[in-house]
Each structure stands twice: as C-alpha cells, then as structure tokens.
Amino acid sequence: MFNETKKLEYLYLQENKLKYLARGLFKGLNNLATLNLGENTIVLLESDLFNETRKLEYLSLQKNNLTSLPSGLFKGLLNLETLELMENQIISLNISASNEVI
C-alpha cells in the first residue's frame, strides 16, 4: 500500500475505526518516524507488523481494544522513544516483548 511513499516520516491513522492491520501494511516505510494508530478498534497486532519501520521513534496504540502484545512486536525498533498503550484492555504483556523496546 505504501510502496511508493518511501520518504514518508509521519503517518496519522487515528480515529478511523481500524480493527485489523494486515501483515506487510507498512512495507517500504523505512523512514517512518511517527506512527499514530490511536483511537481505533484494533484488537490484534501481528508480531512482525513493524518490521519495516526500523526508524520509528513514536508509536501510539492508545485507545484501542488490545488485550495482549505478541512476542517480537517491537523487535528491531531501536529508535523507539515513545510508546503509548494507555486505555486498552491489555491483560497479558509478554516479557520478551517489553525487553525488545528497552
């Protein structure tokens, strides 16, 4: 979907009633620094969803319907400075998922 937007640095998709994000959705967004997915109805995230966004510094997943975060979700996001997860229904946080952010 975003293959022709390789220079894109900011992507705001909040308040769109998104429920599911397809695998490979962010493919080609190698320069993405800010991604706001807040205030949707996302219930599930694929473990490799952010693999193509290695320069990501800010990620908002707030106000969704997440109940858990899969292992490997943040793998390779070494530039991530801000992660917003508030107002979800998270009942399970995989320890290895949190270690990948630090």
Q: Please, which residues have CB within 8 angstroms of residue 16's CB and are 6 or more apart in sequence?
A: 40
Are the beta carbons of 40 and 64 closer than 8 angstroms? yes
Q: What is the model's pLDDT at position 99?
A: 53
Model pTM score: 0.89
59-99 per-position pLDDT tens digit:
999 999 999 998 889 989 999 999 999 999 999 776 555 55
Answer with the residue of higher pLDDT: 39 or 71. 39
- State whether residue 56 is helix, strand or coil: coil
Q: What is the model's pLDDT at position 86?
A: 97
Q: What is the model's pLDDT at position 98?
A: 52
All domains of the chain in start order, with CATH? 1-102 (3.80.10.10)
